[in-house]
């Protein structure tokens, strides 16, 4: 079983690493790769949010703020201080992580709804402060970070950037899986299930809560840095509450506690507006105005439906189908064996 799992992942890695140009129907692939890159980046952010919300049980509804910190840290250091991207990327993660650690302290005394409100305030305040802090963020004009250089080769094509995103995502996913399976992950889960009980078992609540915030902010910071150098134009107001809600949606759709689910959720929420766009492109003007906020309504509807009917996220549909199919197969096999016995 274990060997099969390894084989599957190796195979998947090989497929993912194939140069995309071998696919003949990808004539104009840069748009699709832009989308895939975005999916990967949001998946990294969602992994972090999943550690915080899904595993440690701490609510954050201002998560885009950490992404903003990572993006502007990376943009500022590469443009103004001349840092190479390869230094700015981990540093942006660390910078966001430190701010997450700092936010974790007031969060220590808060739980549930209070934490939600505090993080909401944080999510609103960070873009406002960044817009005002013109020497770092460029104010309303934003920043235009450059594409990263790798041994003299510029990763400006979306297809090339894909490898960077993919490798980072795999690394971060591996890290997240190890964290979840470790002592820290178990402490997170204990914290989520009952703070009082966790404390009674000797878990240092202050330590693990701040750690969860720092971890998830680190992920968001990395995502922010990758985002900045992919889009190559960042404004502080891009990282608004809408983006934070998108993160939450990715998490909820992905089922809160499943690492593949987080990635699938991020892919879903990234593809949604583009998909709607593609479907409504040919519509007449009046309908187009309606289509403008259709992704938003759809996101809301998905959130409502998932909360009401699919507490384990959209993945539940899949596992449900699989279980149903397995039962059917088992049923048929049962009949067969009875037949053979009779024969």
Q: Which parts of this chain interact with other proteins (CB under 8 A)?
A: 53, 59, 61, 106, 109-110, 112-114, 116-118, 120-122, 124-125, 128-129, 132, 194, 196-197, 241, 245, 248, 252, 256, 289-290, 292-294, 296-297, 299-304, 307-308, 311
Least Å distance, CB 129 to other proteins, is 5
Output 225 or 244, the one with its CB closest to other proteins.
244
Least Å distance, CB 66 to other proteins, is 14
Output 91 or 303, the one with its CB closest to other proteins.
303
Least Å distance, CB 306 to other proteins, is 8
Least Å distance, CB 222 to other proteins, is 24
Output 77 or 299, the one with its CB closest to other proteins.
299
Output 147 or 241, the one with its CB closest to other proteins.
241
Least Å distance, CB 33 to other proteins, is 29
Output 59 or 179, the one with its CB closest to other proteins.
59
Least Å distance, CB 290 to other proteins, is 6
Backbone angles phi, psi at 234, to 5 degrees: -125, 135
Output 209 or 229, the one with its CB closest to other proteins.
209
């Amino acid at each position: 079983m274990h060997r099969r799992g390894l084989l599957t992942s190796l195979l998947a890695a090989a497929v993912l690493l194939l140069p995309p140009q071998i696919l003949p129907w990808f004539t104009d692939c840069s748009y699709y790769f832009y989308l895939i890159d975005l999916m990967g980046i949001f998946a990294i952010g969602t992994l972090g949010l999943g550690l915080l919300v899904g595993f440690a049980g701490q609510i954050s509804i201002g998560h885009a703020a950490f992404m903003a910190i990572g993006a502007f840290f990376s943009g500022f250091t590469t443009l103004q201080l001349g840092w190479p991207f390869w230094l700015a990327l981990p540093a942006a993660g660390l910078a966001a992580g430190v701010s997450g650690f700092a936010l974790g302290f007031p969060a220590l005394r808060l739980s549930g709804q209070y934490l939600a409100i505090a993080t909401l305030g944080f999510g609103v305040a960070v873009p406002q402060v960044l817009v005002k802090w013109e020497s770092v963020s460029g104010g309303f004009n934003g920043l235009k970070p450059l594409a990263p250089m790798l041994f003299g080769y510029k990763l400006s094509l979306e297809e090339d950037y894909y490898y960077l995103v993919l490798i980072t995502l795999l690394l971060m996913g591996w890290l997240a899986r190890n964290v979840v399976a470790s002592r820290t992950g178990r402490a997170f889960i204990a914290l989520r299930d009952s703070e009082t009980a966790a404390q009674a078992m000797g878990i240092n609540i202050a330590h693990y809560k701040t750690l969860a915030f720092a971890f998830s902010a680190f992920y968001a910071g990395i995502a922010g840095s990758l985002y900045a150098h992919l889009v190559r134009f960042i404004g502080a107001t891009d990282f608004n509450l809408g983006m934070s809600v998108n993160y939450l949606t990715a998490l909820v759709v992905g089922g809160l506690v499943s690492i593949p689910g987080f990635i699938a959720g991020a892919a879903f929420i990234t593809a949604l507006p583009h998909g709607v766009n593609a479907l409504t492109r040919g519509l007449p003007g009046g309908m187009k105005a309606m289509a403008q906020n259709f992704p938003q309504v759809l996101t809301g509807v998905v959130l409502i439906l998932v909360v009401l009917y699919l507490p384990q996220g959209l993945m539940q549909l899949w596992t449900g189908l699989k279980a149903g199919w397995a039962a059917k197969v088992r049923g048929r096999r049962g009949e067969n064996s009875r037949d053979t016995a009779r024969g």
